[in-house]
Amino acid sequence: MKESLRKKILTEYPEWHGNPLRLTAHEIKNPQTVIKSFFECYDLPAIRACLKEWLEDAFSGPDTPAKENLYTYNDVERLVEAVFVLYKKNKAGRKNKRKDK
């Protein structure tokens, strides 16, 4: 991420925005459920096509299928949050392992 964008984000959003916002407490404890659900709805070719369509829609006119894009956007945001939770857990686990040695 560009440093200028990072600084802008830090000044515009409170610190709690660095935590998952769309996940339930159960999903934060079990982020694998979100990942499983996502990939049961979207296979890799489908999500690639959707992301490409988003980009094309962003550069096109007002005839964008907003409703369909919104559903997928929400699913992608939840997926990113679930992977973020796994990343943080993994990072904390590695840190604890180093302390134990």
CB 31 within 8 A of CB 23: yes
CB 23 within 8 A of CB 77: no
The two three-digit tokens of residue 11, written as one number: 């000044």
In a domain, 31, yes or no: yes
Q: Tally the domains of the chain.
A: 1
Residue 61 pLDDT greater than 70, yes or no: no
Residue 31 confidence class, pLDDT cut points 50, 70, 90: very high
In a domain, 74, yes or no: yes
- How many other C-beta atoms lie within 10 A of the C-beta of residue 41? 13
In a domain, 77, yes or no: yes
Share of the chain above pLDDT 90, in %: 24
Range of the domain at 33: 27-100
Q: Is pTM beyond 0.75 here?
A: no
User: Which position has the higher pLDDT, 54 or 23?
Assistant: 23
